Amino acid sequence: MSLVTGLRCRECGKMYPVSPRVVCDCLAPLEAAYDVDGWRKALSREVIARRAPTLWRYREMLPLDHEPVTSLNVGFTPLVKAQRLAAALGCKSLWIKNDAVNCPTLSFKDRVVAVAINKAKEFGMETIACASTGNLANAVAAHAAAAGLEAYVFIPDDLEEAKIYGSAVYGAHLVRIRGNYDAVNRLCTQIAGEYGWGFVNVNLRAFYCEGSKTLGFEVAEQLGWRIPPVVVVPIASGSLITRIGKAFSELAEAGLLEPTPFKLIGAQATGCSPISVAVKQGGTAIEPQRPSTIARSLAIGNPADGYYAAKAILDSGGTAGDVSDEEIREGMKLLAETEGIFGETAAGVTIAVARKLLREGKMNPDEETVLCVTGNGLKTLDALVGHLDIGVTIRPRLEEFEAQVLRTAGSPAIAAN
C-alpha cells in the first residue's frame, strides 16, 4: 500500500530512502515524500467514507509502508458547532475540533504516536522513547504498552502530577530531567545520536509529524470536504500548525476538495511566545525564550519548527497572538461554561488568543473559524486550583442549605417562603 517515495530534505530537496534518519547531509530536517498520483488513483470521498472513523481512513496519506498493526482506534474526534462560544466571542460561525477526547490518552498526541509507533514496528524497533512536555509522554507510554514495546519517556521534573502518573501507570520508564523541555530535548537528541533508540520526536520525527495532518484531514471531511477559512492552533514546537496547513494542501492535491484560501492563526502563552513574537514582527527568525507559563504543554522556548510555523502563518495571510496566564484560565473557563468542553491550559490559550484577536480586529468575526482544542483539562487541574468557585460545605441539614445555599444564591424558592 505504500505511497511513500522517501524522505525529502525540507531545505535542499535531497531525497533519501525511508529509514530512521535524523537529518539531511546539510543538517536540515527531513519529511516524508509521497506519490501524489497514487493518492488520486487510490482515494475518493466515497472510499474514505466507507472506512472506520479513525485516523487510518487517510492511511495512504501517512508514511507507513504496510497496514497499521497497532494503535488502531485513534482520531476522528468530534467537530463541535460552538454556538454559545461564538455568541460570547461575538463571531458568526465557530467550530471546536475536540481532541480533548482523543483516544486513548486525551490529546492530539495520540495521532502522532499512532503513526510513529507503527513506523517503529516496521523498522523492527523494540524500544521507543520521547522528549515530552507531558501529553506526548502519556501517549508514548500508553501506545507502547498496547503494542508490547518498551517505552522511555524524558520529561521536565516539574510537570503536572497528572501527566507524570498518567505516564507511569502504563509501565513506562520515566526519566525526570532537572531542566525545562528544551534541556530535555537537547539530551534526547544526544541519546538518539549515541544509542540509536527510536525517539518518536527525534529520529522518527519525519514520520511522527505526519500524524498531525490527520487533524486537518478530519476537519475538512467533517465540514463536508471543504477547507475552513480560518483555523486557530496552539503552538509549542510549531509542528501541528505547519501540518494542518500541509493537510489542507495535500487534500487538494489528492483531488478530494477544492483548494480554497485559509488563514492559520497561531496561539501561544506570553510566557513562551517565540513564534508569536516573530510573526507579530512579520518575520520568521526565532529568538529563543526561557519559558514561564502555566501552559506547560506549550512551553518550548526553542521550537524545532519555529521557522516553518512562522512561515506557514505568514504565507497563509494569518497572524499570531499570545496571552497571559490569567487570560489562559479565563479561556479554559469560557470554553467549559459555554460548550461543556474541558480543555487543558493549551485550549485556554487557543480560546483566549481568539478572543483577543477578535477584540483587536485582527480576526474577522464574519469568517467561519475552527478552534483546535488539543488536550484535556483533567490533566492540568493544578492550573485552576484556587481560581474556581468550588462551592460551600454545609452540614446535612435543611436550614443550612436554605441559609447558605438558597439565600446566598438569591433563589426565588426562598423568597416565596
Partner 1 sequence: MPIQVRIPAAISKGSHGSTTVEMKAANLSELLTALESMYPGVRKTICDDAGKLNRFINVFVNDEDIRFLGGEKCQFQDGDEVLLIPSIAGG
For partner 1, the binding residues (CB under 8 A) are 11, 22-23, 25-29, 131, 181-183, 185-186, 188-190, 192-195, 199, 201-202, 205, 236-240, 285-288, 290, 300, 302-305, 307
Q: Which is nearer to partner 1, 165 or 195 (CB)?
A: 195
Other C-beta atoms lying within 10 Å of the C-beta of residue 290? 11
Task: Report yes or no: 148 and 154 within 8 Å, Cβ to Cβ.
Answer: no
The minimum distance between CB 237 and partner 1, in angstroms, equals: 2
The minimum distance between CB 119 and partner 1, in angstroms, equals: 16
Taking each continuous run of H as one helix and of E as one strand, the counts in the chain are 17, 13
Q: Which is nearer to partner 1, 21 or 81 (CB)?
A: 21
Residues 77 and 299: their CA atoms lie apart, in Å, by: 25
- Going by their DSSP bridges, the two strands 79-81 and 4-9 should be labelled as unpaired
H/E element, 400:
helix 398-400
Contacts of 296 (CB under 8 A, 6+ apart): 133, 134, 156, 158, 159, 160, 345, 380
Q: Which is nearer to partner 1, 24 or 323 (CB)?
A: 24
Q: Which is nearer to partner 1, 240 or 373 (CB)?
A: 240
Residues 409 and 192: their CA atoms lie apart, in Å, by: 58
Residues 180 and 300: their CA atoms lie apart, in Å, by: 8
Q: Which is nearer to partner 1, 141 or 184 (CB)?
A: 184
The minimum distance between CB 26 and partner 1, in angstroms, equals: 6
Q: Which is nearer to partner 1, 287 or 366 (CB)?
A: 287
Task: Report yes or no: 77 and 102 within 8 Å, Cβ to Cβ.
Answer: yes
Residues 372 and 343: their CA atoms lie apart, in Å, by: 10
The minimum distance between CB 235 and partner 1, in angstroms, equals: 9
The minimum distance between CB 92 and partner 1, in angstroms, equals: 32
The minimum distance between CB 183 and partner 1, in angstroms, equals: 7
